[in-house]
Structure 1
């Protein structure tokens, strides 16, 4: 295992060092278990084609601030001493596999990962549950540092503290390592992009990255794109059929409630509700007609790109 001292590194220098390999926070994304970042985005970052803008991120900020609080509480509750290492570790055989652990556990072949979570995500931590991306992250760290087990501690909603032990899973580690090595050796080093998927993360990223265009510019695409369009049309036709089937089932259930003028129905396995929902919205047409000055003052203009396909006849 190789070590790089990060104590005197500035934040930007540390980020650049992270881009020279695959870190723990990248693993879930590469494996497709991060709804906020896709494999394609990681590939762009590692190949230097795109750098995520460092903007104010409240969750990330408070996660860093509270890391020490979580570590101290872990020691308080378990009696186990932990220490900050200020090092970037690299795998002995594959140095592009790297780890920045939160804490080392003194006197044990273990590490500690400190997390914070929104109250709405509390169910992901119930019982023995741990979010998949964190399982992959700590297994990756155990692989890089050759540790036997790990602890993960989380502060949920700022008021509930949980800690759990995660055993080393060599079979899972092998699967993770094989995928990460393939991603680095094939996708990154050979500049072969991973498939652009249909995840929310990729959709949002495309909208952000390609927000502007050259007015009136045209390009020529080939037969491959026509095949993609044909596949798209086929999938949309299937989607319409599914949506009709969904509406049919929902209407059948609504009819059952409607005949009895009921808002709630109970089956042996489900609770069905069909209740009025009141929402208040500004009538912009009326506001523009009756109070044009106020309308202009608070009107907000936004620009987006509309995607459409029309068959050439």
Structure 2
């Protein structure tokens, strides 16, 4: 591994600029399609954009604050000393692969990734499990740092602390490099948007990427089979949605006025809830000036498909 830049006193904006020079550990899972909260399309958008978004929230802040604690707990639990690297590294053979690691393990060719998790996410760490995107992150670091192994430690707030060691897997690393190289060279460098994955996240990226339509028409090529399949799926979904609704309706009739029903396998609730919302027609009629003042125009595009 080679050092790209020292992070010791690096300003956050500068750090974010350096992250745009390649694929980092937290990007790797998304690039591989294994991050449920981020898509390859979002990573692509970030890498080609000049905009520097300093996104932060309470969960991210707590994660940073507890990083030291997790590292100390790891040392207590294992007897292994760790140190900060204070640098962003890049892969000698694939310089687009970057690594800004949490800790390096003293006396071993290994590193440590520190994580925090909500108690609601504890199931994802049960029985030695590690979320796939975090596993990919560790293998990414192993590749960049040419490490033999990587440890991952997690603090599940208020419940437990646990850690695991991931061993170097040459086949896994080879596949990871191939996927990241394809993403960087054939998408980022060529400015070609990656394939969508059908997620709502991908929807939001596409909507942001192609915000406005231009009048006119283009030939529709290569989509006949996919659109035919779309029609088939649409029919299947409508039938399954109707069947689902029928089961729910039968359940409601069975429950009657009861609020809950349960057995060894299921717990069902059908509670009375109340909500309030603005009566728009009345507001428009009685207070037209107020209605007009707070009206908001939202620009969007609607996709419609009609069979010929």
Q: TM-score, normalised by structure 2?
A: 0.83
> 1:266 matched to which residue of 2?
263
Match of 1:224 among 213, 221, 229: 221
Per the alignment, do residues 126 and 299 of structure 1 end up closer, same or farther by CA in structure 2, a change over 3 Å counting? Answer: farther
Partner Cα separation in structure 1 for residue 175 and residue 294 of structure 2: 53
Cα deviation code 1:245-274 (max 9, x no counterpart):
32344445556656x97942536xx22525
> 2:300 matched to which residue of 1?
305
May I ask how many residue pairs the two structures share in their alignment?
306
Cα deviation code 1:90-110 (max 9, x no counterpart):
223222222111000111221
Secondary structure of 1:126 counterpart: helix
> 1:73 matched to which residue of 2?
73
Contact 1:142 1:148 survives alignment (8 Å): yes
> 1:41 matched to which residue of 2?
42
Q: Which deviates more, 274-283 or 116-125?
A: 274-283
1:276 aligns with 2:274: no
Per the alignment, do residues 242 and 99 of structure 1 end up closer, same or farther by CA in structure 2, a change over 3 Å counting? Answer: same
1:19 aligns with 2:20: yes
Per the alignment, do residues 240 and 114 of structure 1 end up closer, same or farther by CA in structure 2, a change over 3 Å counting? Answer: same
Q: TM-score, normalised by structure 1?
A: 0.81
Partner Cα separation in structure 2 for residue 163 and residue 71 of structure 1: 10
Note the 1:109-148 alignment, pairs <5 A.
109-148=109-148
Contact 2:258 2:270 survives alignment (8 Å): no
> 2:236 matched to which residue of 1?
238
Contact 2:284 2:291 survives alignment (8 Å): no
Secondary structure of 2:193 counterpart: coil
Per the alignment, do residues 279 and 305 of structure 1 end up closer, same or farther by CA in structure 2, a change over 3 Å counting? Answer: same
| TM superposition shift of 1:305 | 2.1
Per the alignment, do residues 187 and 283 of structure 1 end up closer, same or farther by CA in structure 2, a change over 3 Å counting? Answer: closer
Partner Cα separation in structure 2 for residue 169 and residue 159 of structure 1: 31
Secondary structure of 1:89 counterpart: strand
Structure 1: stretches of 5+ with no match in the other structure? none
Per the alignment, do residues 62 and 263 of structure 1 end up closer, same or farther by CA in structure 2, a change over 3 Å counting? Answer: closer
What is the CA RMSD across the aligned residues, in angstroms? Answer: 3.4
Per the alignment, do residues 96 and 226 of structure 1 end up closer, same or farther by CA in structure 2, a change over 3 Å counting? Answer: closer
| TM superposition shift of 1:301 | 4.1
Secondary structure of 1:5 counterpart: strand
Contact 1:35 1:200 survives alignment (8 Å): no
| TM superposition shift of 1:203 | 2.0
Cα deviation code 1:115-158 (max 9, x no counterpart):
12222212111220111100010011112212222221222236
| TM superposition shift of 1:204 | 2.9
Secondary structure of 1:88 counterpart: strand
Per the alignment, do residues 55 and 15 of structure 1 end up closer, same or farther by CA in structure 2, a change over 3 Å counting? Answer: closer
Cα deviation code 1:31-85 (max 9, x no counterpart):
1111222112222333x24646224422222222222222122223332211111
Contact 1:110 1:151 survives alignment (8 Å): yes
> 1:10 matched to which residue of 2?
11
Structure 2: stretches of 5+ with no match in the other structure? none
| TM superposition shift of 1:29 | 0.3
